Structure 1
Amino acid sequence: MSGVLVLRHGLAARWRPAAIIVASIFPMLLLGLAIYQTMDLTIYDELPEALRQMMGVPLGASAAVLAYNEMLAVMGALAVAALAVSIGADIVAGEERRRTLAFLLDHPVSRLTAVSAKALVLVVVIGATVLALWGASVLSAVVTGVDRGDAHLGAVCVGLGANALFYGALAFAIGAVTGSKSMAAGAGAAVLVLSWFAAGLLPLWPEYADLARFSPWHWYTEPEILVNGIDAGYLALHLGIAAVLLTVGVVAFPRRDLRTAPPVSLSERLAALRLLAPRGHARRPMTLFGLAFARNRALLLVVTGTMGLLMGVAMGPIYEQLAPALDSMMESIPPEMMALFGADDMSTPTGFYWGETMGMMAPAAVITMVAAAAAGLASEEREGRLGTVLSAPVPRSRAVLAATVALTSYATIVAVATGAGIWAGSELADLGLLPANIMGATAHLLALGLFVGGVSLLVAAATGSGAAVVWTAVGLGLVGHFGYSMLLLSEDTEGYAKFSPFYYYSAAQPLADGADWAHVALLAGAGVAAMAVAFPAFSRRDLRV
């Protein structure tokens, strides 16, 4: 019975993010099905065979297949995989960090029972999300009156669920073995991003195309599951490795000591506000900003290194090697298709850098960091530490100010590291990218980060919910990016693309043409306005106790 209670508690705490994903994907499916009905689909038939296979689009694909591929097989798969990593990292390591797990184990429930139930929570939530997406996919066709044709919607949902479970199980195992949520989340997210990156890029590189089969994301996309159905071998590989990882976590957790010390002591937090002078040593107390900034240092290091070195510097030599293949590929790609990448021509250095680095990866990186900073404010409140600090004569505004400065610092560091990496990669490979344009693209990225960060901070201040913060940022990122891309595909809807923040981020093609400072000012100004509103919203709300 105790295991059932643990399972029920875990499901009750984690069904909302899954519901948000399904609620976000459903209108995007409706939009995609409607837009693709108005398009000339022959542009897809003109794509090179290798690129069609990489995108999961067969020759002569129907409008329904193309829409489901974009909205469900790509956008849905990324969202569910991110959900799985989030749950896997938090379900054991996160609760251990918050010391709620220790409280649970004080009751008559064994460690093995508790960790087994938590592993089952991950499986059940992902399974339920997959079923809900399947239902939403079928319903979207009914609502729009579109014939699904030969689209294997059930197979896609099962495949993306198995793919997500792999990354979630990895985060779960690392969290259960180490007790470190940041390590679990960082490793799970890193493997997810690198796997997605390898599956997309390696097939374009003839010498290394065979290495793509070692990418877990490739196991999901390679068989063109939407039209060919489930590949039993790849499905077994995903589920088998996920089962092994879950077993490792379940076996390892009961064998180690739990972390019992809070991340930062109350005395350090009071000293940070200079209400309690540290005695016996000369160490200068940290400021509230220092504590807020330090909360996600490990994640910042991983994200900054990935964007600066891998997606920045390394892309220059990679482009050099891929240039002949890209020239050949672009000869048969219609210009309309490049709207999906926010670039005109990936055979050029600017188009390649935008398509591979700035189009999706850089926004994802900066959004991840600003969401983490904004969620930190809600986490301090939820974990009970913020109320203790604010019980002293300290204005609430200082807590919001610390989160605001940390958020802005994160966005600036990631944006500058990305821009510096692109400049270094261009210089290393002698690509000739203009420094002024690189700076302009960096400014657009920073402005996007400030906008998403400002809205996320406002949600944190108004609700005190870390989950609401994270999924607000994810929604702005995923729905904003894919919605913008989809709207541009049809002349009837392209005018609505201006309602997406990604229009102001990428429509001016700043890496090729330089910054559009009006767009930068609009994004940054909206973000700053949201940050300003966060102060009174936080001050007027009763904090959670």
Structure 2
Amino acid sequence: MNIFRRELRAYRRGLIIWGVCLFLLVVSGMSKYSAYSAGGTSNEVFDSLPQTMKALLGFGSFDVAQISGYFALLFLYIELTVAIHAVLLGSGIIAKEERDKTVEFLIVKPVSRGTILTAKLLAALVQVILLNLVTLVSSLVMVSAYNQGEAITGEILQFMVSLLLVQLIFLTLGMTLAALLKQPKTSSSIATGVLLGCFVISKITDLADRLKALNVLSPFKYFSYEWIINGDGLHGGIVSLSLLLVVALVVVTYRAYRKRELQV
């Protein structure tokens, strides 16, 4: 429990900064909605863009004049932001003692490595959930402030469930990489590189239908925004597979961390 509290204290300031940034992202993003919902020049400009440009910008076939379509556009950038936080948190919380040369703190503790890793995992999970809740509350408040039509609370909740699953995938991916790599200083950069690679894949498959099979390599494409805003919700099979992936990554992390030779 001491390790759990220590990890929460260590990341408290960073969590507050990330939370404020997410809040400002939602506020600034939703503040632009009135320009699109009013129609006119803004919509004409978007409608005139080629489909490839729409795909790269993240709104594809969404109707950004509708609150649900506009939120789906904004959600892409929210998802990318929290995914970066999750993968950096996952890699950093495992590697920071070796990176900062404070590994003696762990060695002198009369606890097993499994207990240490569990405390770190729980601390990271709490931070991920808190950031998700900040995003949820910010989204509900700002969408309600600008929405002039039917409420989309249900859709927002589904977006946040998919967001949490993506956060968990990248959190555990970052932890796995940090546990497997021998150089702790490189774990964060490699984890971020993997995340950006996944994001690039998601954009490539938007541009080329024949490459859709590559979506399995990108958690950003596991959940369809269009299904959510069209009322089809989240695919139960994809949710289950995502959870299985998280569990598999956690198992690999425990096995690798127990065998890891900590660098003092």
Give the TM bin, normalised by the shorter chain. 0.7 to 0.9
Match for 2:254 among 239, 250, 253? 250
User: Could you list the runs of 5+ residues in structure 2 that have no partner in the other structure?
Assistant: none
Task: Name the CA shift for 1:184/1:238 in 2 (closer, same or farther; >3 Å).
Answer: farther
Task: Name the CA shift for 1:204/1:58 in 2 (closer, same or farther; >3 Å).
Answer: closer
Q: Which secondary structure does the structure 2 equivalent of 1:149 belong to?
A: coil
Structure 1 residue 117: Cα displacement: 1.2
Structure 1 residue 49: Cα displacement: 7.5
Structure 1 residue 245: Cα displacement: 1.0
1:196 aligns with 2:199: yes
1:27 aligns with 2:16: no
Structure 1 residue 74: Cα displacement: 1.7
Cα distance in 1 between the residues matched to 2:133 and 2:243: 17
- The amino acid of 1:20's aligned partner reads I
- The amino acid of 1:189's aligned partner reads T
Q: Which secondary structure does the structure 1 equivalent of 2:32 belong to?
A: helix
The question of whether the paired residues in 2 share the 8 Å contact of 1:57 and 1:66 is answered with no
Structure 1 residue 223: Cα displacement: 5.3
| Map of 1:76 onto structure 2 | 78
Structure 1 residue 24: Cα displacement: 2.1
Cα distance in 2 between the residues matched to 1:124 and 1:178: 25
Identity of aligned residues (%): 22
Bigger drift between 19-28 and 83-92 goes to: 19-28
The question of whether the paired residues in 1 share the 8 Å contact of 2:201 and 2:215 is answered with yes
- Aligned pairs (5 A) from 1:97-116: 97-116=99-118
The question of whether the paired residues in 1 share the 8 Å contact of 2:69 and 2:229 is answered with no
The question of whether the paired residues in 2 share the 8 Å contact of 1:173 and 1:249 is answered with yes
The question of whether the paired residues in 2 share the 8 Å contact of 1:18 and 1:83 is answered with no
Structure 1 residue 118: Cα displacement: 0.8
Cα distance in 2 between the residues matched to 1:163 and 1:180: 26
Structure 1 residue 42: Cα displacement: 4.9
- The amino acid of 2:234's aligned partner reads I
Structure 1 residue 133: Cα displacement: 0.7
- Aligned pairs (5 A) from 1:502-517: none
Structure 1 residue 80: Cα displacement: 0.8
- Aligned pairs (5 A) from 1:57-456: 60=63, 62-71=65-74, 73-144=75-146, 146-147=148-149, 149-150=151-152, 152-221=155-224, 224-228=227-231, 229-260=233-264
1:12 aligns with 2:14: no
TM-score by length of 2: 0.82
Aligned length: 256
- Aligned pairs (5 A) from 1:456-535: none
RMSD: 2.9
Cα distance in 2 between the residues matched to 1:101 and 1:127: 27
Task: Name the CA shift for 1:106/1:147 in 2 (closer, same or farther; >3 Å).
Answer: farther
Task: Name the CA shift for 1:102/1:220 in 2 (closer, same or farther; >3 Å).
Answer: farther
Q: Which secondary structure does the structure 1 equivalent of 2:185 belong to?
A: helix
Cα distance in 2 between the residues matched to 1:47 and 1:235: 33
Task: Name the CA shift for 1:100/1:82 in 2 (closer, same or farther; >3 Å).
Answer: same
Cα distance in 1 between the residues matched to 2:169 and 2:118: 17
Q: Which secondary structure does the structure 1 equivalent of 2:263 belong to?
A: coil
TM-score by length of 1: 0.43
Cα distance in 2 between the residues matched to 1:196 and 1:215: 7
User: Could you list the runs of 5+ residues in structure 1 that have no partner in the other structure?
Assistant: 261-545
Bigger drift between 146-155 and 191-200 goes to: 146-155
Task: Name the CA shift for 1:144/1:16 in 2 (closer, same or farther; >3 Å).
Answer: farther
Which structure has the higher relative contact order (CA within 8 Å, separation 6+)?
2
- The amino acid of 1:163's aligned partner reads V
Larger gyration radius, structure 1 or structure 2: 1
Cα distance in 1 between the residues matched to 2:157 and 2:16: 18
| Map of 1:454 onto structure 2 | none
Structure 1 residue 172: Cα displacement: 0.5
For residues 133-183 of structure 1, what are the alpha-carbon distances to aligned partners after superposition, in whole Å with 9 as ceiling and x for unaligned?
101111223444655633611111221221122122112012123353333
Q: Which secondary structure does the structure 2 equivalent of 1:100 belong to?
A: coil
For residues 171-205 of structure 1, what are the alpha-carbon distances to aligned partners after superposition, in whole Å with 9 as ceiling and x for unaligned?
20121233533332233212211111111122322
The question of whether the paired residues in 1 share the 8 Å contact of 2:67 and 2:147 is answered with no
- The amino acid of 1:155's aligned partner reads Q
Task: Name the CA shift for 1:53/1:121 in 2 (closer, same or farther; >3 Å).
Answer: same
Structure 1 residue 224: Cα displacement: 4.4
